[in-house]
Structure 1
Amino acid sequence: MSTIDWIILFGTLLFIVGYGVYKTRGSQNMSDYLKGDSSIRWWTVGLSVMATQASAITFLSTPGQAFEDGMRFIQFYFGLPIAMIIISVTFVPIYYRLKVYTAYEYLESRFDLKTRTLAAILFLIQRGLAAGITIYAPSIILSTILDWNLTLTNIIIGVLVIVYTVSGGTKAVSQTQKQQMAVMMGGMIIAAFVILKLLPEGVSFGNALDVAGHMGRLNVVTFDLEFSDRYNVWSGITGGLFLALSYFGTDQSQVQRYLSSRSVAQSRLGLMMNGLLKVPMQFLILFVGVLVFVFYQFYQPPVFFNEAVSQQVIQSEYAEEWQALESKHSANFEQKKEEVSALIQAAESGDQDKLEARKQQINKLSEEQAGIQEEVKSLITKAVPNAETKDTDYVFISFIMQNFPKGLIGLLLAVIFSAAMSSTASELNALGSTSVVDLYKRSFKPQASSLHYLNASRLFTLAWGVIAIIFATFASLADNLIEFVNIIGSIFYGTILGIFLVAFYLRFIQANAVFIAACIAEALVLYLFFTTDIGFLWFNVIGCVLVVFIASLLQLIIGSKPTAD
């Protein structure tokens, strides 16, 4: 990278960290630290909620998802606006009326201590894992691209987040996320325009859409009902709705964002802002990935996007086989490039017969390319046995490093680092508050001063930050990082949501029934996850329905006798 790129990258990051520390210095009690003195306005809440969900994985992995599979991942978010309405009407007023620090405090008043503790522990497990992944995901890719040490990269991201999160708590997280969202969305909009400018002369935006559409990358909506299919309208509206209800309604990393606002109305406005803007935001990020796909129909892509792994193969005894595959890849690309140009001419002339013929030929060449890619993966496995053979997460960052002008490379890297910091900060803040409020203060040291709990909150936040860095250091790369994070959430979220829905809507069900039902449901979800190929979004529905059904059944068997803690 050039000097200007380094200046832009580190200048942006240091400004965000310094701003967060400066604006939120001097928290004097636990309430200020965990709830930001309840002074945050709705637009800050909305941006904070969006930034919490938009991790670095979103900006690294989502364009690669679109490059490989098209736009259909957007269906994952179709249930989110509905969830925002339900949470605004039901969840938010209850949390405010009870003046809770965490979502799980409500469960004790409704059920008992063991149910509150179970939900808190399930949250700590899945969010603790996710915090490590949100550090590890950008670290492994950035360390590869920039030739940095992976452990050092994990530590840099983790320490930057820990500094302002431990210093200023919830308010620091919310304040810095405004700047981070500005950097993230500004960077992606600029990226879209730059990619369009990089397309060959004579290839218009309309031509790009024609290419993407006829090559199956504008598949925004899929109506086929396939339970093994991860992304379709039905899984998005149902599984996506349940996931969004659980994530935004019961996950402390999100609940803490809107509990810090001035009032119920401000929280609701912030959530509705997220409901209105989240789908367009994800559409933009996916569309950037589609534009990268179109770009690589005219300019030859690498045979494998992870350059570090490619170099390892080239330096091995399999170098000649690798060169042979690169030659096949180049020949395939040249043929397909000609067919794509012919497809554009056919689309402009309106000649449907020629258009269909070109599409068939492109499909044939794409299948041939897929075969070459499988050979590449097999060769990598032989040459570098421990290497990850799926390179989707490297597509966008590789494209940036090879094609963007000086200055913009630093900006886009700042986008990725900012996203990593924003989501990780929210997670550490929530992990710290849940550890203190739901476990430490409630069950281990119930009588202590406000200053003691403030210091404990800082220490637990710091401890979770260190744990996240350690987990990131020893983690291994999944097939697709954005899917991996959502898979982890889906395994636990359904059970947690089921507990809350019983608490809100099924008043006849008591503590013992819901506690036993939650334990059984979580065990069944884990069993199905490891033994079936059910699409992960459905686990949100399955876990939730199992808790409600089993709890209802158990309550009928147990009867309505009062339950003991």
Structure 2
Amino acid sequence: MSEGLPALDLGVLLVYLLGVTVWGAWLGRGQTGGRDYFLGNRDLPWWAVMLSVVATETSTLTFLSIPGISYLGTLAFLQVTFGYLFGRVVVAGVLLPSYHRGELTTAYELLERRFGVGTRRLTSVIFMITRLLADSVRLFATAIPLALLTGWSYPVAVAVIGLLTVIYTYFGGIRAVVWVDVAQMLLYLFGAVVAAVVLQSVVAGGWSQIFATAGAAGKLQVFDLSLDLGVAYTLPAGLLGGAFLSMGSHGADQLTVQRLLTCRSLRDSQRALVGSGVLVIVQFAIFLVVGLGLWAFYQGRAFDASDEIFARFIVDELPAGLTGLLVAGVLAAAMSSLSSSINALASASAYDLWAPLAGARDDDAGILRAGRVFTLVWSVLLVGGALVFLRIGEGAAAVEVALGVSSMVYGGLLGAFALALFSERADARSVAVGIVVGIGFVTWIWATRRSALAWPWFVLVGTLLATATGWLLGGRRGRPTD
């Protein structure tokens, strides 16, 4: 580890950290209620929401883990993003109209209108547990480059990121989250471009030689038509598995749905969602290509963990000033994801749990006060969770760990929404059992390793099981009207 930051890098990093924290807190001035704090008064421009969605879902794991995946393998991970786009198109056409009908405050309010408040609470709690686990991994992954660069321990690095993020999230609410996300996404994409430019100069022959060498080694492969369900990155797994994963993460997860509800209209929400799918493909392609450049630069050298490859390049190979800029980019990605999680978790806690129990559904000011308390609570839990995940598995990329955790759960949640929209038989009891069966079976597969099923298939399997179970166990009382 480094003994300390050069003065120029330290200055770049501190200016960014302090500037974004103060700006984010300032954006929250004048808030009077939960509608503004959590939904931005439904008045945010679609393009800002689109960039915020991309910044939130890709986070530091894109910056660090995706280059490591292509370093060790090929460009085949890109197949998953094609499914991501298809899944968003489905959500835009099927779920978003239901969310905008009736001015919903969280994704799970839709389930309450169909199955009752118990189902809303159950699905909201599942969302909370999933986000806590997955985003704890993301937060820890971010501490890697900061620890490498500064010589701090991982716990100290996690605490610094968490403290600064919670300040602007607490005061700024969703407006701060979205607008800071916009700036942070532009910063870390700029960091990727900087890395690509540096690789052009440090690898003999530049990018033409990188692509030639990678092609000869078979690393430019994008499509794998294999039907082996145990292989994660194939075209069938990418299109089907990626689509269902995207439907779960962008249609049944409050983290993304909350942003889409801040748009001014249904059409704006649809534009933000589908546009984010296109941007994600471009962004993943950029980081996968950076991984090929790193492979050529290090000549395929082995590393202890794939997530450290890009971090090591940033620390050891970039000139003063640029190192600080790219580390600021890493922190930008991390803080955007963390702030989004904190605000979404606080929103679900205030609207789905606290307000119904306290009889305060219409108390907008009370929801704001409760939301800020939940913001602090979830911040502490996420930082604590990151410390628990200090060891995320030998040789595993953090992005795959986080996606695997989410994939175990999204199927059960997505099945509940499918039953709400399309089944006349399902009721609260059958939906609850379906959720448990869908999540339980996929978790059993993952925990016991008794099946070779790769993680991109988890959401599809969980959705089918949850939907089938809920339909079979349901009654025939008919579907309520809105």
Q: What band does the TM-score fall into relative to the shorter chain?
A: over 0.9
Distance 2:357 2:241 in 1: 34
**CA deviation digits over 1:318-364, x for unaligned, max 9?**
xxxxxxxxxxxxxxxxxxxxxxxxxxxxxxxxxxxxxxxxxxxxxxx
Matched, 1:189 2:189: no
**Residues 275 and 474 of structure 1: CA distance in aligned 2, closer, same or farther (over 3 Å):** closer
Distance 1:88 1:107 in 2: 18
Q: What SS class does the counterpart of residue 265 from structure 1 fall into?
A: helix
Residue in 2 aligned with 1:485?
A: 402
Amino acid at match of 1:468: L
Q: What SS class does the counterpart of residue 174 from structure 1 fall into?
A: helix
Matched, 1:538 2:457: yes
Distance 1:108 1:47 in 2: 30
Partner residue of 1:52 out of 45, 51, 56: 56
Distance 1:204 1:175 in 2: 36
- Shift, 1:519, TM fit: 1.7
Distance 2:471 2:7 in 1: 64
**CA deviation digits over 1:284-329, x for unaligned, max 9?**
01100111101123xx95xx64xxxxxxxxxxxxxxxxxxxxxxxx
Matched, 1:64 2:62: no
Distance 1:120 1:290 in 2: 40
Matched, 1:430 2:430: no
The answer as to whether partners of 1:98 and 1:106 remain within 8 angstroms in 2 is no
Distance 2:148 2:207 in 1: 32
Q: What SS class does the counterpart of residue 537 from structure 1 fall into?
A: helix
Matched, 1:258 2:172: no
Superposition pairs of residues 449-468 of structure 1, within 5 angstroms: 449-468=363-382
Residue in 2 aligned with 1:367?
A: none
Distance 2:71 2:479 in 1: 56
The answer as to whether partners of 1:40 and 1:260 remain within 8 angstroms in 2 is yes
Residue in 1 aligned with 2:166?
A: 162
**CA deviation digits over 1:393-445, x for unaligned, max 9?**
11111112111111111111011100000001111110000011111111344
RMSD: 1.7
Distance 1:50 1:447 in 2: 31
The answer as to whether partners of 2:199 and 2:206 remain within 8 angstroms in 1 is no
Residue in 1 aligned with 2:311?
A: 397
Moved more, 247-256 or 438-447: 438-447
Residue in 1 aligned with 2:444?
A: 527
Amino acid at match of 1:405: P
The answer as to whether partners of 1:137 and 1:477 remain within 8 angstroms in 2 is no
Superposition pairs of residues 268-307 of structure 1, within 5 angstroms: 268-297=270-299, 301=301, 305=303
Amino acid at match of 2:217: M
- Shift, 1:508, TM fit: 3.7
Residue in 1 aligned with 2:82?
A: 78
Matched, 1:476 2:390: yes
Amino acid at match of 2:241: G
Distance 1:237 1:562 in 2: 32
Distance 2:184 2:153 in 1: 25
Moved more, 411-420 or 22-31: 22-31
Matched, 1:12 2:16: yes
Moved more, 272-281 or 469-478: 469-478
The answer as to whether partners of 1:17 and 1:176 remain within 8 angstroms in 2 is no
Matched, 1:103 2:20: no
Q: What SS class does the counterpart of residue 229 from structure 1 fall into?
A: coil
**Residues 549 and 296 of structure 1: CA distance in aligned 2, closer, same or farther (over 3 Å):** same
Superposition pairs of residues 79-158 of structure 1, within 5 angstroms: 79-158=83-162
- Shift, 1:216, TM fit: 2.3
Moved more, 441-450 or 138-147: 441-450
Q: What SS class does the counterpart of residue 78 from structure 1 fall into?
A: helix
Matched, 1:517 2:431: no
Q: What SS class does the counterpart of residue 392 from structure 1 fall into?
A: coil
Structure 2, gaps ≥5 residues long: none
**Residues 270 and 562 of structure 1: CA distance in aligned 2, closer, same or farther (over 3 Å):** closer
The answer as to whether partners of 1:435 and 1:460 remain within 8 angstroms in 2 is yes
Matched, 1:222 2:224: yes
Q: What SS class does the counterpart of residue 15 from structure 1 fall into?
A: helix
- Shift, 1:447, TM fit: 6.4
The answer as to whether partners of 1:126 and 1:492 remain within 8 angstroms in 2 is yes
Amino acid at match of 2:250: F
> TM-score normalized by structure 2?
0.94
- Shift, 1:473, TM fit: 1.9
Distance 2:92 2:98 in 1: 10
Distance 1:506 1:144 in 2: 52
Superposition pairs of residues 171-186 of structure 1, within 5 angstroms: 171-186=175-190
Superposition pairs of residues 485-504 of structure 1, within 5 angstroms: 485-504=402-421
The answer as to whether partners of 1:75 and 1:232 remain within 8 angstroms in 2 is yes
Residue in 2 aligned with 1:244?
A: 246
Residue in 2 aligned with 1:343?
A: none
Distance 1:54 1:271 in 2: 14
- Shift, 1:117, TM fit: 1.5
> TM-score normalized by structure 1?
0.81
Residue in 2 aligned with 1:212?
A: 214
The answer as to whether partners of 2:96 and 2:269 remain within 8 angstroms in 1 is yes
Residue in 2 aligned with 1:359?
A: none
Q: What SS class does the counterpart of residue 77 from structure 2 fall into?
A: helix
- Shift, 1:277, TM fit: 1.3
The answer as to whether partners of 2:48 and 2:182 remain within 8 angstroms in 1 is yes
Q: What SS class does the counterpart of residue 71 from structure 1 fall into?
A: coil
Distance 1:448 1:94 in 2: 21
Q: How many residue pairs were aligned?
A: 471
The answer as to whether partners of 1:56 and 1:417 remain within 8 angstroms in 2 is yes
Distance 2:82 2:355 in 1: 39
Matched, 1:198 2:226: no
Distance 2:321 2:95 in 1: 44
**Residues 407 and 144 of structure 1: CA distance in aligned 2, closer, same or farther (over 3 Å):** closer
Structure with the greater alpha carbon radius of gyration = 1
Q: What SS class does the counterpart of residue 138 from structure 2 fall into?
A: helix
**Residues 400 and 234 of structure 1: CA distance in aligned 2, closer, same or farther (over 3 Å):** same
Amino acid at match of 2:260: Y
**CA deviation digits over 1:134-168, x for unaligned, max 9?**
22111144314431022211111001110011111
The answer as to whether partners of 1:114 and 1:515 remain within 8 angstroms in 2 is no
Amino acid at match of 1:234: P
Moved more, 473-482 or 407-416: 473-482
Distance 1:156 1:207 in 2: 40
Structure 1, gaps ≥5 residues long: 306-389
Distance 1:263 1:145 in 2: 44
The answer as to whether partners of 2:99 and 2:107 remain within 8 angstroms in 1 is yes
- Shift, 1:61, TM fit: 1.1
The answer as to whether partners of 1:21 and 1:164 remain within 8 angstroms in 2 is yes
Distance 1:89 1:186 in 2: 33
- Shift, 1:189, TM fit: 1.2
Distance 1:474 1:509 in 2: 38
Amino acid at match of 2:457: W
Q: What SS class does the counterpart of residue 171 from structure 1 fall into?
A: helix
Distance 1:206 1:132 in 2: 39
Amino acid at match of 1:288: V
